[in-house]
Amino acid sequence: MKALVLGGYGNFGARICRALAPGADIDLLVGGRDLERATAFAQSLGGNARGIRVDAQSPDLAQGLGYLGVDLVIHTAGPFQNQGYRVPQAAAAAGAHYIDLADGRRFVCDFPAALDAIFRSAGRTAIAGASTVPALSSAVVDHLSAGWQGIRSIDICIAPAQGAPRGEATLAGVLAYCGEPIRVWQDGEWVDQPGWAKPVKVQFARMRPRRGALCDIPDLELFPARYTGVQSVMFRAALEVGLAQQAFAFMAFMHRVGLLPAPQKLAPLLHSAGRVFDVLGTALGGMAVRVEGTDAQGAPARRAWHIAADDNHGPEIPCMAAILLARRLARGDALPMGAHACAGLLTLAEFEPEFARWGMVTDVIDETSPAP
């Protein structure tokens, strides 16, 4: 299978390329706008990897993909918050499968309706959000609530290590909703809450508590529809250094009062200046997912799943779903035809070998309060 990774030498794309390059059943193309960088990185991978110059926004992208004979496009060139569907449309026109790492809420949530027909017509699969959210998050919720009669609330918090590599595009994506009103499903109704404002304390199994603030991700919209009867869905991000978390809360306030109209424009500055805080942080990051509901016997239940990723390996987690799905396609395993958000397509058990590969540790904890 010939797989093209767009943004193949970037923060996430490079990790995906390193994982896929050794596969004898994958012919890897490292794609980017800088041919020299793409070629140099491809050569460092060895095997059949080859660097090519490709512009994801080129009007003749579909023709280029067809000329190259690409079977799968993996799109990592974010941010996705303001992207259209030019790349997946080009993939469908070229007769290729498509996977991306998008975390933009509208991009992922509107993806199936916008693209299902053209991918079904092409006989191909397109998957948006093959990343920590909603691919891993939905796998965890499914695992924690297996056999339950119903789910009442879902609470997710991602906690990156301060020292972990981070991309400017990712930072621009999260700044795009700093201080913006975010639609959140709370107590059975939609309410607006400001992004990155009012951080609250979150407990982790193998890390110190952190303060996490609301972020706008696809799960906030996908999960109320996916898990019938759920009353509340929350997603927070908890930065390791408290000063950094306070800085985001301050920017959210400045945006809300009209003094910082476009926080995302600060991404280049904050990306370079962020290393100032590294001395205050560690290489340990993680994630926590808490699910509350009614178990198989009809009793109240609350379970939590935690992962701890040391040695700054946390950025490997957003890449795992795309890697797993690409390997499925390379083996010839069937994936659902058409366009889909990546919720429920992978099980938690499929992720576990990847966790082990990077020395990550997981815990499942029963947090149900004992009966009085």
- Averaged pLDDT for residues 103-115: 96
Same domain, 156 and 291: yes
The CATH code of the domain that includes 117 is 3.40.50.720
Same domain, 118 and 164: no
Same domain, 98 and 23: yes
Rg (CA), the chain: 20
Same domain, 66 and 148: no
Residue 100 lies in a domain: yes
Comparing 114-128, 157-171, 229-243, 337-351, which segment has the lowest mean pLDDT? Answer: 157-171
Tokens of 181: 């009103």
Same domain, 304 and 159: yes
Residue 290 lies in a domain: yes
Closest-CA residue to 330 (of 21, 5, 26): 26
Q: What is the pLDDT of residue 166?
A: 66
Same domain, 308 and 339: no
The CATH code of the domain that includes 281 is 3.30.360.10
Same domain, 156 and 124: no
Q: Structure pTM? A: 0.93
Letter string b/e over residues 120-148, b meaning 16 or more CB atoms within 10 A of that residue's CB: eebebbbbbbbbbbbbbbbbbbbbbbeeb
Same domain, 137 and 29: no
Residue 372 lies in a domain: no
Residue 328 lies in a domain: yes
pLDDT tens digits, residue range 118-147?
Answer: 999 999 999 999 999 999 999 999 999 999
Parent domain of 50: 2-131+316-347
Residue 273 lies in a domain: yes
Residue 92 lies in a domain: yes
Q: What is the greatest pairwise CA distance in the chain? A: 69
Residue 327 lies in a domain: yes
Same domain, 253 and 341: no
> How far is Cα 348 from Cα 49, in angstroms, rounded to an integer?
29
Closest-CA residue to 282 (of 163, 106, 171, 167): 163
Same domain, 105 and 153: no
| Residue type present at position 61 | L
pLDDT tens digits, residue range 214-257?
Answer: 999 999 999 999 999 999 999 999 998 888 888 888 888 888 88
Same domain, 141 and 247: yes
Q: Is the pLDDT of residue 370 over 70?
A: no
Residue 371 lies in a domain: no
- Confidence tier at 360 by pLDDT (50, 70, 90): very high
The dihedral built from the CA positions of residue 73, 78, 84 and 86, taken in this order, carries a sign that is negative
Q: What is the pLDDT of residue 84?
A: 92
Same domain, 298 and 328: no
Q: Chain centroid to CA 276: how far?
A: 26
139 vs 169, which has greater pLDDT? 139
Comparing 5-9, 98-102, 278-282, 363-367, which segment has the lowest mean pLDDT? Answer: 278-282
Count of domains observed in the chain:
2
- Averaged pLDDT for residues 33-56: 93
The DSSP 8-state label assigned to residue 264 in this structure reads G
281 vs 43, which has greater pLDDT? 43
